[in-house]
Amino acid sequence: MTNIESIIENLRQLEQEREELVKKPMSPPGVWIHQYEVRKRYPDGFIGIYIYAKWQADKPIFKRNPKKYGHRGSGNFTCHQHIGRVDSNTGLGSVPEVEAAYQQWENRKRLEAIDQALTEIESALQKVMPQEDDET
């Protein structure tokens, strides 16, 4: 197999992987998962440490949960959305929503990486391949 054939085969594989990825659940573009720690002191002196995850975005894209007495801030959207517990020192493990969220985020990051690679390859090929308009 020549280098060009190898490149074409790799491009086909990237396109096929991309086609499969877009069928899977995916996080919204431009969001990430932020983990944070909460400590709770119990009456017996034990300090429970809970690690939670939330979606985070630069812009308010998540629908705000209605509050009984309204909410601080403006608008019906917020920059974060609680996902669930990741871990704790109390024996409570991760909730399924966290596992699903991390998979959705990984799917989004992989799709963005493939799209970026395809864009860069296309740009590089345009520089080295003669243009159809240049032949006339």
Residue at 86 is within a domain: yes
Domain of residue 56, residue span: 3-131
Does residue 125 belong to any structural domain of this protein? yes
The count of structural domains within the chain is 1
- Chain-wide mean pLDDT for the chain? 88
- Specify whether the CB–CB gap between 50 and 37 falls below 8 A: yes
pLDDT, tens digit, 9 for 90 and up, residues 69-94: 666 666 788 999 999 999 999 988 89
d(CA 106, CA 112) in angstroms, rounded, equals: 10
Whether 69 maps to a domain, the answer reads yes
- Residue 124, in any domain of the structure: yes
Residue 136 in any domain: the answer is no
Q: Is residue 115 part of a domain?
A: yes
Establish if 113 belongs to a structural domain: yes
Convert the pLDDT of each residue in 8-42 to its tens digit.
888 899 999 999 999 999 999 999 999 999 999 99
